[in-house]
């Protein structure tokens, strides 16, 4: 079966990125660009646009294709500190992408999804969305379909690791006091230290530092959108 190629708008902040951009003979990989682990209180925390704030369900991880090549996301894995070292997948959060192609400049957002009804086109680990989601800047949107409220990122210390289908550890962002610590064999890793962003942490590309999303555009988060940096 051929993977679908969805035409996702290219964010201006991604244009001209080169840090992880693949040359002709190099493999192309996406990069983590935003993580919401500290969901704001009140209505401001409704990141998944389902009409309610949930400290678990509104969490999300955003990735972007900052390369010049189309990337088939099938088999790419997102994992937290607990699930990374748990081969059976009993602990922490983990998401493995189904088959779908992300064009250069394309963005994908993976919500935790606990107790959530996310509007628009939404995929999961078994099936990709039918198309871009207009509620999230035409990004590809997925849900982990988490079924327990305690299956979430830890505000005080955790990490998100992006692993390629062949097992290569591509990208990792770490915050707070993280135990267990992330793997050491990661191509690109950044520790943002103890941070309480009152929303997501964001970077406008793989060669840019992580900052609170509010530092870019005064919003607590921007799933599917790469702010101008």
pLDDT tens digit sequence for 99-120: 999 999 999 999 999 999 999 9
Model pLDDT, residue 12: 38
**Rounded Cα gap, residues 142 and 60, in angstroms:** 9
Burial 76-93 (b: 16+ CB within 10 A, else e): bbbbbbbbbeeeeeeebb
Model pLDDT, residue 24: 55
User: pLDDT digit string (tens) for 7-17?
Assistant: 444 443 443 34
Q: Evaluate the CA torsion angle 102, 188, 225, 127 in order and state its sign.
A: positive
12-217: which CATH number, 1.10.150.20, 2.60.40.1260, 2.102.10.10, 2.30.130.40? Answer: 2.60.40.1260
Confidence of residue 61 (pLDDT cuts 50, 70, 90): very high
Domain ranges of the chain: 12-217
Closest CA to 196 of 220, 169, 180, 167: 220
Q: Evaluate the CA torsion angle 53, 73, 188, 208 in order and state its sign.
A: negative
Q: Are 28 and 168 contacting, i.e. CB atoms less than 8 angstroms apart?
A: no
Q: Which residue has the higher pLDDT, 28 or 13?
A: 28
DSSP conformation class of 133: B
Provide the whole-model pTM: 0.90
Model pLDDT, residue 210: 94
């Amino acid at each position: 079966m051929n993977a679908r190629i969805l035409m996702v708008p290219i964010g201006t902040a991604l244009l001209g990125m080169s840090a992880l951009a693949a040359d002709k003979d190099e493999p192309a990989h996406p990069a983590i660009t935003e993580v919401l682990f500290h969901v704001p209180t009140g209505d401001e925390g409704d990141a998944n646009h389902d009409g309610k704030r949930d400290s678990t369900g509104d969490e999300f991880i955003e990735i972007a294709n900052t390369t010049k090549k189309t990337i088939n996301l099938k088999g790419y894995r997102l994992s937290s500190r607990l699930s990374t070292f748990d081969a059976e997948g009993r602990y922490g959060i983990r998401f493995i992408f189904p088959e779908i192609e992300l064009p250069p400049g394309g963005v994908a957002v993976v919500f935790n999804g606990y107790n959530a009804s996310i509007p628009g086109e939404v995929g999961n680990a078994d099936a990709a969305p039918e198309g871009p989601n207009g509620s999230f800047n035409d990004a590809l949107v997925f849900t982990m379909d988490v079924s327990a409220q305690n299956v979430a990122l830890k505000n005080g210390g955790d990490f998100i690791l992006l692993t390629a289908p062949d097992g290569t550890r591509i990208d990792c962002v770490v915050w707070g006091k993280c135990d267990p610590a992330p793997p050491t064999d990661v191509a690109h890793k950044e520790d943002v230290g103890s941070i309480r962003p009152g929303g997501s942490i964001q970077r406008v590309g793989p060669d840019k530092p992580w900052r609170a999303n509010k530092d870019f555009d005064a919003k607590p988060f921007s799933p599917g959108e790469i702010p101008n940096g």
